[in-house]
Amino acid sequence: MPHQLLTNFTSYIQGQQLFDPSQKVLLAVSGGVDSVVMATLFKQAGFNAAIAHCNFQLRGEESLRDEAFVRALAAQLSLPFFQVSFNTTGYAETHQVTIQVAARELRYEWLEAIRNQEGYHYIATAHHMQDSVETALMNFAKGTGIAGLHGILPKQEKVIRPLLFAEKDTLIAFAAWKNIQFVEDSSNTTDKYTRNFFRRQVIPRIQEVFPAAVKNMAATTERIREAEYLYQEAVERKKKQLLVQNGNTWMVPVRKLQHIKPLSTIAWEIFRHYGCSAAQTQQVLLLLGSESGRYVETSTHRIIRNRNWLLITPLADIAAPLQVIDAEQQHVHFAGGQLHIRQEKRDPHLPIPTSPFIACLDASQVTFPLLLRKWKQGDYLYPLGMPKKKKVSRLLIDQKLSLPEKEQVWVLESAKKIVWVLGLRIDDRVKITPKTQSVLQIEWKKISGE
């Protein structure tokens, strides 16, 4: 119903809370029917808007014609006009991307810059219901998850799509009814080819058996959007149960992950944030059955099996990764040498070793798993014999360590507390006392030659 378009337009903006009538919106206008109708509607509704046009210089004379057309449209509607011309082909070559990607990047970057400089609240694009349904359907055919089926979103950060409620036919009918002029785009890029194929070949076939298919599919994408909200809520809850942070490293307990349901989806939702592709997520799942030391390397992180944990370490940190020490473990090999661990009954007649390379701790005060790692800024402990806490950095200064020496300092952590700065000092809270019944003795053997 073209004569209801303006009413539906304003109620959609209100219902979806796209923007407030007092806010200023920058309209991306190519000159095609969708964006010209959008600009007209903004004008008719009395919103505060401006027109922005990109000339990608990909279609010679036609590009210039479109630019002139949109400039005239802005004048006719008395809206501010912003324009830019890009060397799209050059950008694509320099950045080794396709023409479509180049145009897209240039466009959004420039629109955002203008929006910001000129004090507009939002950028509006003229995507309509058909665009959204096509996107969802193409994603379905390409293979996707729940996020690929929600179609085009009405609002994403600073970009709004106030025409998503409208069918393409309605926009065309509105233009005809109001005698609105627009230009036709003769381009036929690969991206457009696939989309046009769905628009002209696939969807009309579906409409032969389900005439209301576009509306039905749009309604489906909206329901999927709501379902996705609940899905995300459940995912976040599971992630909280599974992820333990330690500095830059994240730890996932293997047994807990193994029993999570549904495993593939949760693994994907966890590991994709650390550069994991879908295929790599499957490799990470193989680590659940592998031995310690195996790992998968993503573009940003190494995900390594370490005893009963998967450790997610930034690539920058893997020279000295975190190491997990379980209760039953007696020998630990790490970049700084080896640890030998044994637990035994306290014999009050034996003296406590004084070597800084042997830590004797009250076993009842220590919680496994222990974590072995390089020290970092912000670390502190209660050094043996001292009544108050001290920064590890301070301790290293007192010990007059050189910078390279400082870089080789390791600490042992128990339940988020540092219990031993290796070779230097244990923590007072875990020392042997007359009440100690069981002793955890840890000996550090530095790499031979040192």
Name the residues that contact a copy of itself, by CB under 8 A.
Answer: 137, 140-146, 148-149, 194, 197-198, 201-202, 205-206, 208-210, 212-213, 215-217, 219-220, 223-231, 233-235, 238, 261-262, 264-265
Based on CB atoms, which residue is closest to a copy of itself, 209 or 319?
209
Based on CB atoms, which residue is closest to a copy of itself, 177 or 197?
197
On whether 30 is known to bind a ligand per the annotation, the reply is: yes
On whether 11 is known to bind a ligand per the annotation, the reply is: no
Query: What's the token pair of residue 87?
Result: 């060397």
Could you tell me the smallest distance in angstroms from the CB atom of residue 149 to a copy of itself?
Answer: 7
User: Which residues sit opposite 380 in a β-bridge?
Assistant: 391
Rounded (5°) CA angle 425-428-430: 100
Q: What is the DSSP string of 35-102?
A: HHHHHHHHHHHT-EEEEEEEE---STHHHHHHHHHHHHHHHHHT--EEEEE--HHHHHHHHT--HHHH
Based on CB atoms, which residue is closest to a copy of itself, 134 or 427?
134
Contacts of 308 (CB under 8 A, 6+ apart): 253, 254, 255, 324, 326, 369
Cis, peptide link before residue 369, omega less than 30° from 0: yes
Based on CB atoms, which residue is closest to a copy of itself, 66 or 269?
269
Buried b (16+ CB within 10 A) or exposed e, 329-341: eeebebebbebeb
Query: What's the token pair of residue 282?
Result: 């499957």
Based on CB atoms, which residue is closest to a copy of itself, 141 or 176?
141
Could you tell me the smallest distance in angstroms from the CB atom of residue 165 to a copy of itself?
Answer: 16
Based on CB atoms, which residue is closest to a copy of itself, 84 or 213?
213
Buried b (16+ CB within 10 A) or exposed e, 139-159: beeeeeeeeebbbbbbeeeeb
Contact criterion met (CB below 8 Å) for 172 and 257: no
**Strands 48-55 and 81-85, how do they pair?**
parallel
Based on CB atoms, which residue is closest to a copy of itself, 236 or 407?
236
What are the Cα distances from residue 446, in Å, to 25, 319, 422, 425?
A: 64, 17, 10, 16
Could you tell me the smallest distance in angstroms from the CB atom of residue 212 to a copy of itself?
Answer: 8
- 3 state DSSP class of 368: coil
On whether 34 is known to bind a ligand per the annotation, the reply is: yes
Instruction: Please give the Cα distance from 163 to 130 (Å, whole number).
Output: 10
Query: What's the token pair of residue 365?
Result: 């005060």
Instruction: Please give the Cα distance from 114 to 239 (Å, whole number).
Output: 38
Could you tell me the smallest distance in angstroms from the CB atom of residue 126 to a copy of itself?
Answer: 24
Could you tell me the smallest distance in angstroms from the CB atom of residue 268 to a copy of itself?
Answer: 9
Could you tell me the smallest distance in angstroms from the CB atom of residue 145 to a copy of itself?
Answer: 4
Could you tell me the smallest distance in angstroms from the CB atom of residue 160 to a copy of itself?
Answer: 19
On whether 337 is known to bind a ligand per the annotation, the reply is: no
Could you tell me the smallest distance in angstroms from the CB atom of residue 14 to a copy of itself?
Answer: 16
Based on CB atoms, which residue is closest to a copy of itself, 284 or 332?
284
Q: Which residue ranges make up the annotated binding site for ATP?
A: 30-35
